[in-house]
Structure 1
Amino acid sequence: MMAVEEKKSYCTQSQKETLINLMREKENEPILSGKFSATFTFKDARSKRQNIASILNSAPGASKDWKLWKKKWQDLRFKAKKKKSDQVKHARGTGGGPPLDTKYDTTNELILSTIAPTAITGYMNVNETPIDFQFASIDEKDEPTDMNEEYVQGEANEIVLDDHIYSKENIVP
């Protein structure tokens, strides 16, 4: 008999806010960067994430392991970043029209404070390098010949290629 999977409860607003506040703490900055070093290893990150998961699981709402809470944080960051980058992209666009109707709640603003501005807007003071294409004309006699034209010039059982005649008998044993 198949085991019936229990429906997992959703993350509550208070759990989201707690997760955001925990991730914004100074001691959790290495987790935000995602860079490991001799002083901050994967084991350290896992330990910190397990501590965060135990705090979040003690609150009413969803109960998840540290990997699922990590995924929840990534999803929250992605949605906040996408919303903000869409707004910036719309503001840079040409043409008229009303501004993009984007409402940010305090949780989105707190999440955005953990993301570097260049990750959202790009580099603002970088000019693109101009590219100048120059095309040279080709003399008619220097143009490459079409193999189909050369094939048509020979007999049905011969192929002419680079002034050499290849017969069907020489190619096929």
Structure 2
Amino acid sequence: MKKEFVMSLSQSYRQDLLNATQLAEQGMLSPSQQAYCFEEIEDTKGTAFYPANGDELFRKLRTALGEKAQISERQRAETELHKLGVELLFHTYIDRFTFAEITHNTAAHKYDAIIYLDERVTNEEKRANAAAMRKAFDAWLEESGHTVDPTALTEVPDPCEGRFDTLAGAIAHIEHILRYPDLLLII
């Protein structure tokens, strides 16, 4: 059973590298997708999980990345969400485990406010990342003309994902978490 799992994961990583190279050749490999390849897959080198032709696949991927500029994380998110009928209103990206966004489900006319802080880093790094996201959020508020209405803040069943009836509620949620990031920290 374990051998089958190892082979399955190795084959999955191989396919992921092939897909990533194809996306990179089109200029469509976002930073989080690149990080997945170079942080998760490449870190398996020297183990049974590493694809048999992993070195060759990584050379091809690096070549493709060097030949064409790639899309931003925001562009990737907008493209994926658009397919689902969701509009991306606010997005800030630190890394694939640390980002915040506000989206609008146009069919249901609901808003989501999501914040992820990488749990693998120190609390000081989490606070620094939250401060960087707060700066981007404040800039978005100023640019978009939106304001924070503290009275719109409501309880959310899951602190990482909320569904809001109004944009004001989603904005208040993001603002509150970024103002008080320790609410998401495990101390």
| TM-score normalised by the chain length of structure 1 | 0.24
Higher helix share: 2
| Structure index of larger Rg | 1
Higher strand share: 2
